[in-house]
Chain A
Amino acid sequence: MTMTDTGQSQQTTIEADPNVPTITIVREFEAPRERVYRAWTDPELVAQWLGPKDTPTRIDHWNLETGGSYRYASMRDGEEIATFYGSFHEARTNERLVQTFTYDGVPDGVVLDIATFEDAGDGRTRVTILSVAQSFEERDAMIASGMEVGVVEGFAMLDELLAAE
């Protein structure tokens, strides 16, 4: 445990396991567990932080309960650029949220996300998200997709810049 009380503890840590196709993300938040869980599960609040400003999230369906489901879209300039859906396998208030996640563009792909919410003391909350993919290929594609989107976003910005000339 190398985390300190400085701003560093706020930083996201990530681990791609070499033995199993998982990604583990850990992040602490400056808020009590109840509030973090609510921001994580209230669709109006989720829409405020899930996507970047230039590709906001439009929540189409959100039934938060064990056995419930969700569906949302990423938007750009009022147009859908990607849609995602899944089920809430378990919604254990303030403690644990287990959900599946599928990107419509890769309909055979499904990731299991297990988020746990822990009291980290001093009104802070530690969230750990374990994402389990079906294969190393799928897990690595998830990691790589961040890069692709980043590049696509970069080009889109360049387009905008050039169009404004």
Chain B
Amino acid sequence: MGEDSLSRVFSALADPTRRDIVARLAVGDATVGQLAAPYDVSVQAVSKHLRVLEDAGLVSRSRDAQRRPCHLEAEVFDLMTKWIERYRQRAEERFGRLDAVLAAMDDEDDGRDREGGKRAAPARRDQQGEGS
């Protein structure tokens, strides 16, 4: 999935009605009429929303069946979840390095005035010879 498709998925899901439609399709396939029923909008309006979801690859509609039920393409969600998870992992890796930096910092350094720029590290008796 390229960046454009990812953007389409995100913007398709930016609308609360479309999110609701997706949530209902997650339970099972449904026709446009069934999907439109609970809303105070026309079948045409729901069809419009469905088209956006179709363009994003989130929903497919069978061509042959007369009722043309809408079907949620779950694997697109899986892909999107993977991208976000990858982003999360990179953040977690970075914060794992920060954990190590924090663990190595001295308590007595807390609150020390920061004078900006480079400064000589003060002698720290309790860190001498500390192994890793």
Query: In the assembly, what is the distance between CA of A27 and CA of B14, in Å?
Result: 26
5 pairs from A and B in contact (CB 8 Å cutoff): A12-B91, A30-B102, A35-B109, A136-B10, A140-B3
Chain A contact residues, CB within 8 Å of chain B: 10-14, 16, 18-19, 23, 25, 27, 29-32, 34-36, 38-42, 44-45, 48-50, 52, 62-64, 136-137, 139-144, 146-147, 149-150
Contact A14 B102 (CB under 8 A): no
Chain B 93-117, CB-CB to A under 8 Å as 1, else 0, gives 1110111111101010111001010
Interface pair B97/A49, CB less than 8 Å apart: yes
> Are A146's CB and B87's CB within 8 A?
yes
A30–B104 alpha-carbon span in the complex (Å): 12
Once the chains are docked, how many angstroms separate the CA of A23 from the CA of B97?
21
In the docked arrangement, what's the CA distance between A54 and B30, Å? 50
A38 with B114: CB separation less than 8 A? yes
Task: Choose among A49, A143, A147, A150 the residue that contacts B98 (Cβ–Cβ < 8 A).
Answer: A49
Q: In the bound complex, do residue B83 and residue A18 qualify as a contact, i.e. CB atoms below 8 Å apart?
A: no
Contact A137 B7 (CB under 8 A): yes
Extra inter-chain contacts (4) besides given A12-B92, A36-B102, CB under 8 Å: A10-B99, A39-B105, A136-B7, A143-B84
Whether A29 and B102, one on each chain, are in contact in the complex, defined by CB atoms closer than 8 angstroms, is yes
In the assembled complex, the Cα of A63 lies from the Cα of B107 at a distance in Å of 24
**Chain A residues, CB < 8 A from B118:** 44
Also in contact, A35 and B110, with CB within 8 A (given A16-B10, A63-B116): yes
Complex Cα gap A42–B101 (Å): 11
How far, in angstroms, from A29 to B96 measured CA to CA in the complex? 9
State how many angstroms separate the Cβ of A61 from the closest Cβ of chain B: 11
Which residues on the B side are within 8 Å of A50 (C-beta)?
A: 94, 97
Asked whether A31 lies within 8 Å of B83 as measured between CB atoms, the reply is no
A143 near B94 with CB under 8 A, answer no
Give Cα A13 to B114, complex, Å.
Answer: 31
Q: Are A38 and B109 touching (Cβ within 8 A)?
A: yes
Beta-carbon nearest neighbor of B85 in chain A:
A14
Shortest distance between the CB of A58 and any CB in chain B (Å): 13
Which B residue's beta carbon lies closest to that of A47? B101
Known: A52-B93, A136-B11, A141-B3. A45 touches B101 (CB 8 A): yes
Specify which chain A residues have a CB less than 8 angstroms from the CB of B93 in the assembled complex.
52
Q: How far is the CB of A18 from chain B (nearest CB, A)?
A: 5
- Which 10 A-B pairs have CB atoms at the shortest separation, nearest pair first? A49-B97, A31-B102, A146-B87, A12-B92, A14-B88, A49-B98, A34-B110, A140-B7, A18-B13, A144-B3
